[in-house]
Amino acid sequence: MIDNNIMMPCNSSDSCDSQGFCSKNEASQGVVLIAGRWLIGTRSWSSGVVGFGHQISIRSYWHLFQEHSVSSQGLVEDEHDARNLAFIFREEQVMQKITSFLWFDTQAEEAARFYVSVFKNSKVTGVVPYGEGGHMPKGTVMTVRFILAGQEFVALNGGPEFTFTPAISFVVNCDTQEEVDEFWEKLSEGGHMVQCGWLTDKYGLSWQIVPKILPELLADPDEAKAQRVMTAMLAMIKIDIDGLRQAAKNV
């Protein structure tokens, strides 16, 4: 949401309100994410924007900075805090054009909280109950809005009419074998391991746990090499990166 009436902490004898803020109708005032650090203050920038291209009201979000290690110069020097603030602003300011909407029987909230426990930068952001005359009894959870690794999802308790199918799945891109192993273990618990990195979790939702190197190897211009990798992958249940590399090298 664009806010051209940006509020800044007062650093002089300007007319301030009880919270120490003064109003400056200048687009050059704002917050900018530079090299992983949030800068707050009256420095001049081409536009008063957050690193994601959105102007904000600092008054509205000042509590976030107070809760993190922000120096008097407005620098967030702790990398962890900077990442958290970046995530908070991205979550609060940017609405996805397309959001995955998942239909559950009655386990929407349970499933959302499970998924949030699996992925970093994840949280439940809202729960809406059914009202009078709804599809389920009043007070029953209707929808749960949540974020997984920065991506927004909505879960619905819609009853048993519809169920998930492997025709739709979510791909988890992994950098290392350790990451593959972690997601595979957590998401397959109580579910069903399939083949080629596919699994169905305990709620019936399908996932693909894929190391980033796999599509690279399958797209190799050496057709014989790519075919060896494909053959190796088809014999796997959970993807093994070393096994893919060995197949690529024809070891």
- Measured at the CA of 23, the angle between CA 20 and CA 25, to 5 degrees, comes to 155
Is 60 exceeded by the pLDDT of residue 51?
A: no
pLDDT at 96: 79
Whether residue 23 is predicted with pLDDT greater than 80 in this model: the reply is: no
Q: What is the mean pLDDT of residues 76-86?
A: 49
Under the banding of pLDDT at 50, 70 and 90, the label for residue 135 is confident
Which CATH code fits 169-249? 3.10.180.10
**pLDDT, greater one: 84 or 152:** 152
The answer on pLDDT for 185 being more than 70 is yes
Over residues 71-91, mean pLDDT: 46
Order of all β-strands in the sheet with 100-104: 100-104, 151-157, 141-148, 123-129
| Range 178-193 average pLDDT | 98
Output the 3-class SS for 209-233: EEECHHHHHHCCCCHHHHHHHHHHH
> Rounded to 5 degrees, what angle do the CA atoms 175, 181, 182 make?
90
- pLDDT of residue 15 exceeding 80, the answer is no
Burial class (CB in 10 A: 0-12, 13-18, 19+), 229: buried
Alpha-carbon distance of 152 to 145, in angstroms, equals 7
- pLDDT at residue number 179: 98
pLDDT at 146: 97
SS3 120: coil
Mean residue pLDDT across the chain: 75
Number of H helices, E strands in the chain: 7, 12
Domain 100-157: which CATH class? alpha beta
Q: Is-contact 142 132, C-beta < 8 A?
A: no
Q: Where are the domains of the chain?
A: 7-93, 100-157, 169-249
What's residue 95's pLDDT?
A: 67
Which of 122, 203, 202 is CA-nearest to residue 157? Answer: 203
Q: Which two tokens stand for residue 74?
A: 């407005």
pLDDT tens profile 97-114? 899 999 999 999 999 999
User: Minimum mean pLDDT among 94-103, 134-143, 159-168, 233-242: which range?
Assistant: 94-103
Beta strand 123-129 pairing with 169-174: unpaired
Q: pLDDT value at position 55? A: 36
Residue 183 DSSP one-character state: H
